[in-house]
């Protein structure tokens, strides 16, 4: 059976990841929203983690080949760990959550990304000394990027969750019940 819902979700996920390839302010892409959305909407837990990670990896491959070279490799373990955690937050949110639950998960994922990835930047020891002062300087320097992360995640979360909810109302094949119903035959 063709699972229309799965393929639409995968297409949305790939589209959001591809948005990283167009010019934007640093950290102002909705990629955490993408992982949160995937975690909440894919029926399979494996797909909820794998599809956003694969989309991110594809966009990282292009970014690495075209713009950044190997510079992004050092941060990848921290970024990808945050993506897995954010997809898990999406599973907690679920496909029919309250706006409060969505907002809490989006804010949590943004804060988690800020804390974990900047700790990773500090830990590599290339930009900041491995001291408490170096760690503090790393976090302080990252605050403007955090504002962009919050904005990108907030807008992305509203667009993805709200847009898909509206699409589900209009298109029966996108509803989870229709996607999981057995094929008559």
* DSSP letter string, 94-133: -SS--HHHHHHHHHHHHHHHHHHHHHHHHHHTSSS-SSHH
In 3D space, the residue among 37, 55, 28, 48 whose CA is nearest the CA of residue 113 turns out to be: 28
Widest pairwise Cα distance in the chain: 67
- Give first-to-last CA distance, the chain, whole Å: 11
Q: Where is 140: in which H helix or E strand? A: helix 132-157
Whether the CB-CB separation of 6 and 42 falls below 8 Å is answered with: yes
User: Distance (Å, rounded) from C-alpha 182 to C-alpha 185?
Assistant: 9
Q: What is the pLDDT of residue 21?
A: 80
Least confident of 17-21, 49-53, 171-175, 177-181: 177-181
The structure's pTM equals: 0.84
Q: How confident is the model at residue 181 (pLDDT cuts 50, 70, 90)?
A: very low
Q: Which residues contact 151 (CB under 8 A, 6 or more apart)?
A: 28
Domain locations in the chain as residue ranges:
4-20+29-180
pLDDT tens-digit profile of 51-76?
A: 999 988 888 887 766 656 555 666 78
Tokens of 54: 């694969």
Q: How confident is the model at residue 45 (pLDDT cuts 50, 70, 90)?
A: very high
Tokens of 163: 């847009």
Give the alpha-carbon dihedral of 95, 53, 146, 68, to 10 degrees.
Answer: -160
Q: How confident is the model at residue 111 (pLDDT cuts 50, 70, 90)?
A: very high
């Amino acid at each position: 059976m063709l699972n229309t819902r799965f393929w639409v979700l995968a297409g949305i996920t790939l589209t959001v990841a591809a948005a990283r390839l167009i010019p934007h302010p640093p950290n102002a892409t909705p990629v955490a929203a993408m992982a949160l959305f995937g975690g909440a909407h894919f029926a399979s837990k494996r797909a909820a983690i794998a599809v956003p990670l694969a989309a991110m990896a594809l966009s990282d491959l292009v970014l690495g080949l075209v713009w950044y070279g190997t510079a992004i490799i050092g941060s990848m373990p921290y970024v990808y760990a945050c993506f897995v955690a954010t997809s898990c937050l999406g599973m907690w949110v679920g496909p029919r959550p309250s706006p409060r639950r969505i907002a809490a998960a989006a804010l949590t994922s943004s804060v988690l990304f800020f804390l974990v990835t900047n700790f990773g930047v500090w830990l590599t020891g290339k930009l900041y000394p491995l001291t408490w002062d170096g760690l503090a300087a790393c976090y302080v320097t990252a605050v403007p990027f955090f504002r962009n992360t919050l904005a990108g995640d907030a807008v992305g979360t509203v667009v993805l969750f709200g847009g898909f909810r509206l699409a589900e109302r209009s298109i029966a094949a996108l509803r989870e019940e229709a996607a999981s119903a057995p094929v008559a035959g």
